[in-house]
Chains A and B, each alone.
Chain A
């Protein structure tokens, strides 16, 4: 991958929590229109990796370069990183529980986020249509006026995915989206992610191998904070080290 095609590059990132190295010299790159699955056993550092990209956790060493100008995300605030086009779905679905589905989606729509332009914001037809389309896509059309806190776990997952799409990010980080979903919903989720990845970069963390297989994309295996293997799903599943990590202990 040349620099021009690379959207995000992690260069020898390390993070320690109280001396425990959760991320260890991790290097990783993803293209600007690529779907990538991240797998690895519990505690491998998958969520922490997303924390570092989104500015929630700061790397102890290493660099994170983003975009054509290779800006260093390590120097930016969480909100600046999000404004630069990185959207995230959390492992535990986090939506604004006291607000309606509609309000949650409006907050996420890709518009200027400065206080005074939000103050002046008036919802136009285009946004109205956009929200209807998004709600349709995530199956919440009939729930727009409901308070998000009343939704089921699965519906909250969907709402968060809807919010993620509403942001129109250049890079989507999706942490275990299939948790709490029915098989049909999982299938639908893979469709959405595959389609999203046609025009942007999508990183998906998932345990469910069937799910990953359906994504039909390059897979990165994380273990003890570094990349253990990378390639097609069949390739990595035949890797001796990967088998050891997954089946070994």
Chain B
């Protein structure tokens, strides 16, 4: 049975092959485990890109397959980052505080340690009390559970309300956008309990890993990101290739018809939406330790719109399309905005790519929408078909 699944979905082997080559190659060229040809910051960019691919994959499940255009997926991405960030920051601060108090003449009481942690973390927003929501921050296991639970719960409540009221199309998209905007604005407040606009920082420093260099940690995260992406790719292919996937695509194409076949469309949408949100949260939880900082600006509406643009350019409704889009556009984007592309001198005007990249991207998006609605993934399909013919 497993064999037939792979035979029916050859893209899995190709996908994992390419992913393995890239990850292995990067590892061999890295500073952490290899010859040092690739800088640690490049390895981190690569790892982060894989996380964005994972988020794009998750978005493709709801948009490309189920027809729900979510413009708020970065709410889940950011929340995932916050949930793991709380443990990273708390445990690390606890380490530092304990170490410095250890030099004091009297051994510090747990209460003193707690107060010192509170001051360290919340001093920037003028507080020293550790808010309720940090109750589990000293436990990696519990915070990992929260990475899944909190975004999952948000998606569940949002989806339950929206789908049950049969909100669809543009109105649903606007609601998702409002969701991420509201969350972002809330977190911007200093008394939100999550350090306001400062966000959570220093996330690249793993607690208990003081003597392990970033060069090595970056490779670990690259592998964690790659393995997650591969696993979710396989699971998603399996989900979407069977009868369940058939029902999901039927929702996208004609949800009312499916209702008259006896399917409760709302239930299906909810399952896919929550699943997608949880995957996106996992992607965020892997991304932000590599980025080092998560703040409310990450959840600004524009971030989720970028994600949609990537999936559109890559080709929605095909999993590799979403991944290709996210990888291609986000890498090219960081190349352009990183100032590495030489400016274009037109004589009367100099095109600075840092400023003009967005225009180029927008133009590309329009072109793809108009002339290649299947995106870059559609080109792959065409090549495959030509070879078969």
Contacts and interface: CB of A to CB of B under 8 A. Distances in A.
B42 interface: no
Interface string A162-191: 010001000000000000000000000000
A1 B362 CA distance: 67
A114 interface: yes
Nearest to A84: B262
Interface string A75-109: 00111101100011010001111110001001110
A16 interface: no
B268 interface: yes
Given A99-B249, A99-B250, A107 B243 contact: yes
A87 B267 CA distance: 20
Interface string B241-263: 01110110110011011111111
A214 interface: no
Nearest to A160: B257
B243 A82 contact: no
A115 B243 CA distance: 10
B265 interface: yes
A163 B267 CA distance: 22
Contacts of B139: none
A192 to B, nearest CB: 19
Interface string B95-111: 00000000000000000
Contact of B244 (A77, A78, A121, A123): A121
Interface in B212-260: 239, 242-244, 246-247, 249-250, 253-254, 256-260
Given A96-B250, A107-B243, A82 B261 contact: yes
B264 interface: yes
Contacts of B254: 94, 96
B242 A54 contact: no
A71 B159 CA distance: 30
B254 to A, nearest CB: 6
Interface string B262-275: 11110110010000
A167 B261 CA distance: 8
A167 B262 contact: yes
Contacts of B263: 79, 107, 113
Interface string A104-136: 001110000111101101010000000000000
Contacts of B259: 77-79, 82
Interface residue SS majority, chain B: helix
Contacts of A90: 257
A44 B258 CA distance: 27
B267 A107 contact: no
A95 B256 CA distance: 11
B264 A119 contact: no
Contacts, number: 75
A115 B268 contact: yes
A201 B221 CA distance: 62
Contacts of B271: 115-116
Contacts of A83: 262
Contact of A118 (B247, B253, B256, B257): B247
B243 A121 contact: yes
A63 B340 CA distance: 72
B250 A79 contact: no
A99 B261 contact: no
B260 A114 contact: no
B249 A78 contact: no
Contact of A98 (B249, B256, B268): B249
Contact of A115 (B249, B257, B267): B267
A107 B244 contact: no
A97 B257 CA distance: 11
Contact of A77 (B250, B253, B258, B264): B264
A40 B259 CA distance: 28
B315 to A, nearest CB: 15
Give the one of B244, B246, B261 with max A CB within 10 A.
B261
A78 B253 CA distance: 17
A111 B268 CA distance: 16
A88 B260 contact: yes
Nearest to A97: B253
Nearest to B242: A121
B53 to A, nearest CB: 25
A113 B243 contact: no
A190 to B, nearest CB: 23
B253 A98 contact: yes
A123 B241 CA distance: 13
A78 B243 CA distance: 21
A79 B244 contact: no
A228 B257 CA distance: 31
Contact of B261 (A98, A107, A114): A107
Nearest to A120: B244
A158 B193 CA distance: 61
Nearest to B269: A115
Contacts of B249: 96, 98-99
A23 to B, nearest CB: 19
A167 B262 CA distance: 9
A114 B264 contact: yes
Contacts of A94: 254, 257
A82 B244 CA distance: 18
Given A78-B256, A79-B265, A96-B254, 19 more contacts: A54-B260, A79-B260, A80-B264, A82-B259, A82-B261, A90-B257, A97-B253, A98-B253, A99-B249, A99-B253, A103-B246, A107-B250, A113-B262, A113-B264, A115-B244, A115-B267, A115-B271, A116-B271, A119-B239
9 contacts: A80-B264, A99-B246, A106-B246, A107-B243, A107-B250, A107-B258, A107-B263, A114-B267, A118-B247
The 10 A-B residue pairs whose C-beta atoms are closest, nearest first, are A82-B262, A78-B259, A83-B262, A79-B264, A121-B243, A115-B271, A119-B244, A103-B246, A96-B250, A79-B259
